[in-house]
């Protein structure tokens, strides 16, 4: 059992840190419309889109300057000394106020307000963002939700106990450079619900580039692929790594079979060109 900032967190089937493998958990149940069920094409395409967005976010995080991030957090804490370091979250059970979560590995921070600081932070850690809400906006601009990160991604915590836990939230959020913030919308009470959150959506424009992959994958007959596997197949097609030509640079191609009938499904691929092992047998 994990104990993090004094809080006991049960065994997790998806791990205690965010990874590419645990980021997407496919669900065909809509969280927007009660009773709506997504078809397989939507689930497949949304899983791929979510991982593309994940890769954009990770590249963005790598581009950030750690020293500048630390200076930004230090400036915020100097201007707002009411935010105190948290050592044991149990001290904040049933305590109303604001909290600052710092994710040093990603140079990201998150500010929220709650009527129970301990419970709210625990909810961030143990819940995972719903499959159909992973992308908030477009693939090229959606910020990864704080609820997609896992407990150990939070390396520092600060809390400000106060009866009014909403009035100043947006001001606090805006006082930190947005490149270092993973808040997806404005703070405070959103009386307009989801529509207000969408209207005030925060985003960042990623510098999109084609990803060069070294692919070594092998799938069995009738395998139901994971989101990461689906994304790998998509990138094979996107990067045009396969050709119907049987002659490459004067050498006979060892492509046995290559078929592709749509953006996300009906694949039949076999190859080991340039030491890349790829065996995908008709995923429909």
User: Same structural domain for residues 31 and 118?
Assistant: yes
Boundary-marking domain end, from 199, 230, 258: 199
Tell the burial category of 39 from Cβ atoms under 10 Å away from its Cβ (0-12, 13-18, 19+).
exposed
Boundary-marking domain end, from 137, 170, 199: 199
Other CB atoms within 10 Å distance of the CB of residue 230: 23
User: Same structural domain for residues 138 and 231?
Assistant: no
> pLDDT by residue (tens digit) across 77-122?
999 999 999 999 999 999 999 999 999 999 999 999 999 999 999 9
Give the pLDDT score at 245.
42
Boundary-marking domain end, from 144, 172, 199: 199
Confirm whether 13 is domain-assigned: yes
User: Same structural domain for residues 26 and 115?
Assistant: yes
Confirm whether 244 is domain-assigned: yes
Confirm whether 205 is domain-assigned: no
What sign has the CA pseudo-torsion 177, 178, 182, 184? Answer: positive
Give the pLDDT score at 256.
45
> pLDDT by residue (tens digit) across 136-164?
999 889 999 999 999 999 999 999 999 88
Give the pLDDT score at 217.
60
User: Same structural domain for residues 23 and 116?
Assistant: yes
Could you tell me the residue range of the domain that residue 101 belongs to? 2-199
Give the pLDDT score at 244.
44
**Total tally of structural domains belonging to the chain:** 2
Tell the burial category of 107 from Cβ atoms under 10 Å away from its Cβ (0-12, 13-18, 19+).
buried
User: Same structural domain for residues 191 and 232?
Assistant: no
Give the pLDDT score at 237.
61
User: Same structural domain for residues 50 and 165?
Assistant: yes
User: Same structural domain for residues 125 and 182?
Assistant: yes
User: Same structural domain for residues 119 and 82?
Assistant: yes
Series of mean pLDDT values for 10-residue runs along the chain (284 residues): 92 89 94 93 85 92 97 98 97 96 98 96 94 94 96 98 84 95 83 74 78 57 68 65 46 50 55 56 51
Give the pLDDT score at 117.
97
Confirm whether 207 is domain-assigned: no
User: Same structural domain for residues 122 and 247?
Assistant: no
Give the pLDDT score at 103.
98
Give the pLDDT score at 34.
95
Confirm whether 107 is domain-assigned: yes
């Amino acid at each position: 059992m994990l104990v993090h900032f004094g809080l006991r967190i049960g065994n997790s089937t998806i791990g205690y840190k965010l990874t590419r493998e645990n980021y997407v958990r496919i669900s065909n149940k809509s969280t927007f419309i009660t009773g709506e069920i997504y078809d397989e094409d939507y689930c497949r395409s949304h899983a791929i889109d979510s991982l593309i967005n994940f890769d954009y976010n990770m590249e963005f995080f790598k581009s950030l300057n750690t020293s500048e991030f630390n200076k930004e957090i230090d400036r915020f804490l100097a201007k707002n000394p009411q935010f105190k370091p948290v050592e044991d979250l149990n001290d904040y059970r049933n305590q109303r106020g604001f909290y600052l979560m710092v994710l040093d590995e990603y140079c990201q921070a998150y500010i929220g307000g709650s009527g129970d600081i301990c419970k709210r932070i625990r909810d961030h850690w143990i819940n995972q963002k719903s499959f159909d809400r992973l992308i908030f906006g477009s693939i090229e601009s959606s910020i990864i939700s704080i609820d997609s990160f896992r407990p150990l991604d939070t390396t520092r915590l600060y809390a400000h106990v106060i009866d009014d836990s909403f009035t100043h939230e947006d001001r606090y959020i805006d006082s930190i450079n947005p490149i270092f913030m993973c808040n997806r919308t404005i703070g405070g009470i959103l009386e307009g619900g989801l529509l207000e959150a969408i209207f005030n959506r925060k985003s960042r424009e990623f510098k999109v580039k084609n990803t060069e992959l070294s692919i070594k994958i092998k799938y069995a007959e009738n395998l139901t692929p994971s989101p990461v596997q689906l994304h790998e197949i998509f990138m094979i097609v996107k990067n045009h790594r396969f050709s119907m030509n049987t002659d490459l640079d004067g050498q006979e191609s060892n492509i046995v079979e290559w078929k592709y009938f749509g953006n996300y499904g009906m694949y039949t691929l076999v190859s080991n060109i340039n030491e890349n092992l790829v065996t995908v047998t008709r995923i429909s």
